Amino acid sequence: MTVFDNVAYPLSVRRVGKAEIRDKVAAALRLVEMERFADRPAPALSGGQQQRVAIARALVFEPEVLLLDEPLSNLDARLRTQMGDEFRALQRRLNITTLYVTHDQEEAMALSDRVVVMQRGRILQADVPEAVYRRPASRDVAAFFGAPNLIDATVTGCRSDDRGGHTLTVEGANGRGACRAGQAFPAGTPVLVVVRPEDVALGLADVPPANAPPADAPAADNRLAWRGRVVDCVFRGSRRSLTVDAGGLRLNVECPATRAAAVGQTVTLLVDADNAWALKA
């Protein structure tokens, strides 16, 4: 079929009049910027263009709910990002409720108003993207997004604020300091502390980070602290991925490519309490 016939198909099977089909197809193709390809055979299009035609075909009969199952899975990385941004803008313009299934974590974060994380048919957590990423409800949710540091610790103190938040002081795994939690934990409770690699501030042995304490100073009340040795470093263009051994605890650290330590170098690692989240162990 041509592009026009592909997009017109949902209307044709609903026995819509030809004049109405022509107007609605033209409008749908304009939405995805494909109107100049209306007479082209669909197989002659690029992968990204074919995806746009598929979206136009889904939109042309003005559904109340749009269901999408891995719609960008057969595109290369650059085109996935481009099409994802275009689809998000289109969905906002049309204001159609959309259920979007994907295994791509970044895609889920970028396109969603709400994220539902499922495992074996069960909902583990449903919330706005930043809450799911920053405040996971379980170890499985935390581990699904990226490569977080999951640190076993023990609560040594807990204080609550008037907004229902909780700040814990914890010790364990060769580090100590403060983190946040969604519930109060009594002293002595084992917890799992979630720290994202990009939230770890790296201090080189000879160039400490701004406002950093001396290497042997106790941790402040508003952060976690470790001292360790870099055992691996991977260059990723704009950033580097480090693995730091802090007395047997392996920590993943993401830092700018220009701010990194060499393998074998001793470093300090600091994490603000707002960027560390405690879960029940």
Beta-strand (E) ranges in 196-265? 201-204, 223-235, 239-246, 249-256
* Per-residue model confidence as pLDDT tens digits over 254-278: 999 887 788 999 999 999 999 999 9
* Per-residue model confidence as pLDDT tens digits over 98-154: 999 998 888 899 899 999 999 999 999 999 999 999 999 999 999 988 889 999 999
* Per-residue model confidence as pLDDT tens digits over 54-81: 988 998 988 889 898 988 777 777 777 8
CA 46-51-55 angle, to 5 degrees, is 150
* Per-residue model confidence as pLDDT tens digits over 152-186: 999 999 998 877 789 999 998 677 899 999 999 99
pLDDT on residue 173 = 65
Please write down the long-range contacts of 203-212, taking CB distance under 8 Å and 24 or more positions apart: 203/267, 203/268, 203/269, 203/270, 204/261, 204/265, 204/267, 205/261, 205/265, 205/266, 205/267, 205/268, 208/268, 209/268, 209/270, 212/268, 212/270
* Per-residue model confidence as pLDDT tens digits over 204-251: 755 444 444 444 444 445 889 999 999 999 999 989 999 999 988 999
**Domains 3-113 and 146-280 equal at CATH topology level:** no
Identify the CATH class of 146-280.
Answer: mainly beta
pLDDT-above-90 percentage for the chain: 58
Q: Of 258, 185, 182, which Cα lies nearest the Cα of 171?
A: 185
Annotation: CATH topology of 3-113: Rossmann fold (3.40.50)
CA 119-121-124 angle, to 5 degrees, is 45
* Per-residue model confidence as pLDDT tens digits over 223-235: 899 999 999 999 9
- Cβ neighbours of 213 (radius 10 Å): 15
pTM of the full structure: 0.79
Per-domain residue ranges for the chain?
A: 3-113, 146-280
pLDDT on residue 205 = 59
